[in-house]
Chains A and B, each alone.
Chain A
Amino acid sequence: GAVVSQHPSRVICKSGTSVKIECRSLDFQATTMFWYRQFPKKSLMLMATSNEGSKATYEQGVEKDKFLINHASLTLSTLTVTSAHPEDSSFYICSARDHTYEQYFGPGTRLTVT
């Protein structure tokens, strides 16, 4: 079945530094990938929709200059959290959609900013 990987699974960084998270669809091509943020015991909050080869579409309230998204190929999207602060600490989950529009989720990345 369709598999989506995410790397790293956990990352701890210092305040002010940038962190890059990779999302890969391993056995299918994903023209669309999604990035979600999830706080403890909360639902998935869509941050942005990323289409291969074009600029990401950000949801209202999500700073595009802070959360840089690149979708350079049909199997890879990256999320870079720039100048991270403790309030950016969260669980970030990507999702990739195949040609049937079914979405498959990555395992998530736990970001802790100290």
Chain B
Amino acid sequence: GENVEQHPSTLSVQEGDSAVIKCTYSDSASNYFPWYKQELGKRPQLIIDIRSNVGEKKDQRIAVTLNKTAKHFSLHITETQPEDSAVYFCAARQNSGYSTLTFGKGTMLLVSP
């Protein structure tokens, strides 16, 4: 089955700095890679995703890159703000009706004002 590794487990940055979270996956058949943001006691919210036919995707201050050869993908947050503080999870999955998301262990991002 799929195995997703996520680093770092915690990340502290100053407001305005950039933050990068990295994930690797093991199943070369995976082709869908979402990122979720989870605030304390709340549900995970999809913030961005990427599919294997693209190498990079941007949405305002958030970007995700994918390297299928190396089987890794990364989340980049620029100009961080205190409200970006949360736990971020990467995940991987084949894009079929029978596959399930495999999550990384999460990264707690703390943005200090």
Q: Interface of A with B (CB < 8 Å)? A: 4, 31-32, 34, 41-44, 46, 49, 91, 93, 101-108, 110
Contacts and interface: CB of A to CB of B under 8 A. Distances in A.
B42 interface: yes
B41 interface: yes
B100 A106 contact: no
Given A106-B43, A107-B43, A108-B42, A46 B100 contact: yes
Interface of chain A: mostly helix, strand, loop or mixed? strand
Contacts of A110: 41
Q: How many interface residues does chain B have, given as a range? A: 20 to 34
B113 interface: no
B42 A43 contact: no
Interface in B50-83: none
A43 B106 contact: yes
A43 B101 CA distance: 12
B100 A107 contact: no
Contact of B105 (A32, A42, A102, A106): A42
B42 A34 contact: no
A108 B105 contact: no
B97 A44 contact: no
A105 B43 contact: yes
A105 B42 CA distance: 10
